[in-house]
Amino acid sequence: MGDLIPLFGTEAFRPQAQRFNTGRLSFELLDGGLHDIRFDKIEVIRAVTFPVRDRDWGTIAPRLGVVTKEEIAGGLTLAWTAEFVNGDARLRASLVVTASHDRLEVHATARSDGDFETNRAGFTVLHPIAASACRLTVQYSDGTTEESNLPDRIEPWQPFKDIRSLTHEQSGIITCCTLNGDVFEMEDQRQWSDASFKTYNRPLARPWPYRLRDGEPLQQSVSLSFSGKGQRTSAQDEVKLSIGALNGCRIPELALVMTPAEAREALSDLAPLESIAPQRITAHLDPETGDTDLVPFARLQTRLTLAVDLEYAARCDGDLDAEFAELAAQVRAATLPIASLFVCPSVDRQSTPPGSTWPDCPPLENVHAAAARAFPDIPRGGGMLSYFTEFNRKRPPVAMLDFVAHGTNPIVHAADDRSVMQTLTALPWILKSGQAIAGGKPYRLGLSSIPMRQNPYGSRTIDNPEDQRLCMANSDPRHFAQFGAAFTLGYLAQIAPFGIEVWTPASGSGPRGVCKDGILTPLGDLLSRLSRLAGQTVRDVSVSQPETAAALVVEKTLLLANLTDGEIKIEIDNGEEIRLGPYAIAEHPFSGSQG
């Protein structure tokens, strides 16, 4: 068990998948859900799960019963129970899977013991983004149908609502998904960097949280049918995008974000920052915390050679000119020459889901005009302190700005190791869609660590004192382990072709920082290498699908990361074979094309 600590930073239990096969159909059972559903060895459905969410959209971990298996004519049946506990109430569910050579059905029967509060309880179907832009037939609850496509550019709102069934063809396989028991709709999960489209119940326009009353029954089912003949190629699972040649693309400048408290902590031991040598520090200023001390950033700038960018969560609750004049006075009083100012209204850090009322906030044009009057001589940016989802739904007035920015986070909806690595696949779509919004303005990526700084979808981030794999957690042990370093190199490989100006993979200290017990973590060590590559020309990038390895070629250097928990072999341009252990990173001289 001790070997798990260097890899994951924790010895927490890792559920193991069990694979089932019947004819041309195969799937995995993992932690009470079906995953990696394949027909003719082609992934056609990413997952069918039965998640239950609390009022903060946190996933309530179920207590799972023993899985029973029965062989039936031409297939098999699996059954198990799941119990969800929220406060004094319990939701007890029985799940049954029936699989044959061309059909897969999942039925759930549940009943509440006590009044059970939830934001969502029921089936979720994940469609892989490899199906993006494929033809789609949607049948609605009234029996009407529509011929459409799964969207290529990321939709800010649900592309389809009131769904009865979905039929799409992918790589020669026709998949029909029929849903019963509630009203289902689809959202584009690429917004949150999930590598899927999600069909779920119930509609977000309905009130949440809601209560399943004591004794109230819940019955739902998902029926999948498959036909056609799979057309598999050697690059079957590779997701392709037209992102242009890499000519002119360079490694972005590295920024580490800090609050005033984290800056004071970093000043007590500068060795980690000196070793990493980031080009920039992002000073995160949030008046709601009561700590708006900019002096620690001025001291950091004096002792280290770097730029300081001010990231401000604007109150926007009174006279805007007075607020930004006060901010400018704080900057002058601290004798802090800031390189840029990024402004986001504080209220916009909370997401506004479909059907919800937008919070009170002055027009963004007014906010940025006031910022321009107070800071007329420095580059100014807008966007979101949170994620692309919010950036996509409330778009900044780019004509008034010098750059745009938002962050990403890989543990919004799922926190298992495979799902976190799969989020890398969605990054090119985020940036492709984001650049369309930016309209050619320089693009920066804010904090994009595995642990979450702030939860736009609930009242809090989730504490993680036992170092588990938790959605929306404010700390994650993998951030400090080899897993976090491999994920971060894969992240850079995915964003490198898009000409990003600045990226922010970590904080300077604290639970999203770069050292532990005063020693650089594997992530910190990687960033010390990547920082020195800033500005160098990117010759090639690759992230294999499924997420096995990432490669980044910068001038004459090849960086490789194993994105899996097993050993892999990679052949490079001269025929040499490199073996990488679990989540290992290697640096290698490079002279030609990849093998």
Nearest to 350 by CA among 281, 404, 288: 288
522-548: average pLDDT: 91
CA distances, 543 to each of 14, 147, 267, 492 (Å): 24, 33, 37, 10
Q: What does the buried/exposed string (b/e) look like for 382-421 if buried means 16 or more CB atoms within 10 Å of the residue's CB?
A: bbbbbbbbbbbbbbbebeebbbbbbbbbbbbbbbbbbbbb
Cα end-to-end span (Å), the chain = 35
Q: What is the pLDDT of residues 328-375, one digit of tens each?
A: 999 999 999 999 999 999 999 999 888 788 999 999 999 999 999 999
Residue 529: phi, psi to the nearest 5?
A: -80, -45
Nearest to 393 by CA among 384, 382, 381, 403: 384
283-288: average pLDDT: 97
Return the pLDDT at 2: 54
Return the pLDDT at 131: 62
**Residue 9 tokens, joined:** 């930073």
Nearest to 426 by CA among 547, 521, 264, 563: 547
Q: Cα 147 to the chain's mean position, in Å?
A: 30
Residue 367 near residue 326, CB atoms below 8 Å? no
Query: Domains in the chain, please, with CATH?
Result: 4-228 (2.70.98.10), 253-580 (3.20.20.80)
Provide the pairing of β-strand 217-228 with 103-113: antiparallel
Sequence letter at residue 269: D
* CA–CA separation, 308 and 260 (whole Å): 13
239-244: average pLDDT: 34
Q: What is the pLDDT of residues 48-107, one digit of tens each?
A: 999 999 998 888 999 999 999 999 888 999 999 999 999 999 999 999 999 999 999 999
Residue 219 has pLDDT above 80, yes or no: yes
Q: Say which residues have a Cβ less than 8 Å from residue 303's Cβ, sequence separation at least 6.
A: 267, 270
The pTM (predicted TM-score) of the whole model is 0.93
Q: Say which residues have a Cβ less than 8 Å from residue 310's Cβ, sequence separation at least 6.
A: 282, 283, 285, 294, 331, 338, 340, 341, 342
162-167: average pLDDT: 97
Tally the residues of the chain: 595
Q: What does the buried/exposed string (b/e) look like for 65-104 if buried means 16 or more CB atoms within 10 Å of the residue's CB?
A: beeeeeeeeebeebbbbbebbbeebebbbebebbbbebbb
Residue 249 near residue 275, CB atoms below 8 Å? no
Sequence letter at residue 353: P
Return the pLDDT at 265: 94
Residue 240 has pLDDT above 50, yes or no: no
